[in-house]
C-alpha cells in the first residue's frame, strides 16, 4: 500500500514523535518499501489458523497478593530528570 506523508505524520503523532519534514518524506518511502515486502503475507490463506498468543502452552500465571519488599523511594527517584520531595516533576498539564 502507499504510505504518504500524512499517514507517517498521523502515526508519528500517535507514537508521540515529532518529525522534521525531510524525515517524514524519507520515512514514507522507507516504510512503503518495507510494507511492500511484508505484503507477501496477504498471499497466504490464514482462515481457521489460530493466532499465536504464547509460543509455549502455558496459562495465566497467578500469585498470592501478598506485600513484598519494594524499592525505597530515594532509589526510585534516583534517575528522575526532575524531582521535588517525593515526586516526579513534569511540565504543567493544566493551564
Partner 1 sequence: MELNKLTAHELIQKLNSKEITAKDIFSALDNRIKEIDHKVKAYVRAEKDTNSTEATGIPVSIKDNISTNGYRTECCSKILEGFIPPYDATVIKKIKESGHSFLGLKLNMDEFAFGSSTENSFFGPTHNPWDLSCVPGGSSGGSAAAVAADEAIWAIGSDTGGSIRQPASFCGVVGLKPTYGRVSRFGLIAFASSLDQIGPLTKDVHDSALLSNIISGYDSNDSTSINTTVPDYTKSLINDVKGIKVGIPKEYFVEGLDPEVKSSLQEAIETLKKLGAQFKEISLPHTEYAVPVYYIIATAEASSNLARFDAVQYGFRADSANLIDMYKKTRSQGFGDEAKRRILLGTFALSHGYYDAYYLRALKVRTLIKRDFDNVFKDFDCIITPTSPTAAFKIGEKTDDPLKMYLSDIYTISANLAGIPAISLPCGLTKRGLPVGLQILSKHFNEELLLRVAYTYEQNTQWHKNKPKL
Using CB under 8 A, list all residues that contact partner 1: 3, 7-8, 11-12, 14-19, 23, 27, 30-31, 33-35, 37-42, 44, 46, 49-56, 58, 61, 63, 71, 75-76, 78-82, 88, 90-93
What CA–CA distance (Å, rounded) separates 87 from 95?
Answer: 20
Instruction: Quickly tell me which residue has 499517514 as its cell.
Output: 7
- Beta carbon of residue 52, minimum distance to partner 1 (angstroms, whole number): 4
- Beta carbon of residue 25, minimum distance to partner 1 (angstroms, whole number): 13
Start-to-end Cα distance in the chain? 42
By beta-carbon proximity to partner 1, the closer residue of 37 and 86 is: 37
Angle made by CA atoms 18, 21, 24, in degrees to the nearest 5? 70
- Beta carbon of residue 54, minimum distance to partner 1 (angstroms, whole number): 7
Q: Phi then psi for 76, rounded to 5 degrees?
A: -60, -35
Amino acid at each position: 500500500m502507499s504510505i504518504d506523508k500524512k499517514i507517517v505524520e498521523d502515526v508519528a503523532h500517535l507514537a508521540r514523535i515529532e518529525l522534521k519534514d525531510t524525515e517524514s518524506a524519507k520515512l514514507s518511502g522507507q516504510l512503503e518499501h518495507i510494507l511492500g515486502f511484508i505484503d507477501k503475507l496477504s498471499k497466504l490463506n490464514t482462515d481457521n489458523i489460530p493466532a499465536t498468543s504464547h509460543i509455549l502452552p502455558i496459562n495465566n500465571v497467578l500469585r498470592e497478593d501478598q506485600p513484598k519488599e519494594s524499592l525505597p523511594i530515594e532509589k526510585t527517584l534516583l534517575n528522575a530528570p526532575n524531582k521535588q520531595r517525593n515526586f516526579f516533576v513534569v511540565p504543567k498539564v493544566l493551564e
